[in-house]
Amino acid sequence: MALKSSKRHTEVSALTTKNYHPQFFAYLNFELGVMGAMQLNDEEKSTGQLTEQTLQDVALNLKSEGYVILHEVMPQSWVTAMRSLFCAELEANYRDQPSQLASQNGHGGFQPPLKAPFLDPSIIENEIVFQILEYTLGKHFFGCLPYGCNTSFPGSTTQNVHRDCGHLFPELDLALPPLLIVVNILLDEFTESNGATEIWPGSHRHIEADQAEISTLKIAPSRWSEHTSVRTTAPAGSIIIRDMRTWHRGMSNTTDALRTMLSLVYYRQHLLPDNLRSSDEVINEDDWQQLSERAKWIYRLWK
């Protein structure tokens, strides 16, 4: 389903046509409150099958802005159960090591074990997500387990602006199609108060400025301050899909509650990152039998 039209975001006026795909401006007006937000129809959510038009809209959004937000994809009953599960793990992980959380400036998380219920198919082989990944990365995309759980704790501070990966050929004055895409499943409503991620639309097409940016992936204030940003506010159960070259940062959580999302990274077929490694964790036989052949292939799992 195409993006709906409504009020223009107050920051959009700073954008110019110089750096954006012409059709990008079809997305500047919308009802959902954030640039790049989309609402799937009820049939798409219930069947898990996206229309060709929706896939085209998602692909255009990723190409022009570097991310897309799909509102309220996951059922609220599922979100409630998963949030309870992950929050219990988070609290147990940090209960005896507050100094570690402090060293991370309140931005914590963990890698869930490779066992049920963390291997829920709605997380690791979400049909809607897989359709989008195949459409944008090609049929033979792959991912790695374990995935991540990223949480902004109460009192967390604002991160540096950064990318999660650089351009494959930064010496070229041209941004190639995406090689890595991260999928975030929101287990909480993302608001400005609890630290909804700040993101710079279109920044995935900005080539690195210098060697320091290539090495650290950090973006200098003199660079990001010249471009418009938005906050990825969205309801719990929404899914954010982002080109990992897009500038972003975690923001401070000024509430008294955790703000949690799941993070799964996927790769184009021919990319083999230096830090790519499989988990040493053994999946027990019962959990192994519950995995589909498709999931085993995509995550390159074998016994």
Provide the number of structural domains found in the chain. 1
Within-domain flag for 245: yes
Is residue 245 within 8 Å of residue 175, measured between CB atoms?
Answer: yes
Residue 56 lies in a domain: yes
Say which residue the tokens 């896939």 belong to. Answer: 55
pTM for the complete prediction?
0.87
Task: Answer yes or no: is 11 within a domain.
Answer: no
| 28 located within any domain | no
CATH of the domain at 196: 2.60.120.620
On whether residue 149 sits in a domain, the answer given is yes
Give the domain extent around 63: 41-271
pLDDT in 10s for each residue of the chain, 303 residues: 333 322 333 333 333 333 444 344 344 334 455 678 999 999 999 999 999 999 999 999 999 999 999 999 999 999 999 999 999 999 888 888 888 888 899 999 999 999 999 999 999 999 999 999 999 999 999 998 999 999 999 999 999 999 999 998 888 888 889 999 999 999 999 999 999 999 999 999 999 989 999 999 999 999 999 999 999 999 999 999 999 999 999 999 999 999 999 999 999 987 666 666 667 788 999 999 999 999 999 998 887
Residue 19 lies in a domain: no
- Would you say residue 2 lies in a domain? no
**Is 26 domain-assigned?**
no
Helix (H) or strand (E) run with residue 91 in it: helix 76-94
Chain-centre distance for alpha carbon 300:
21
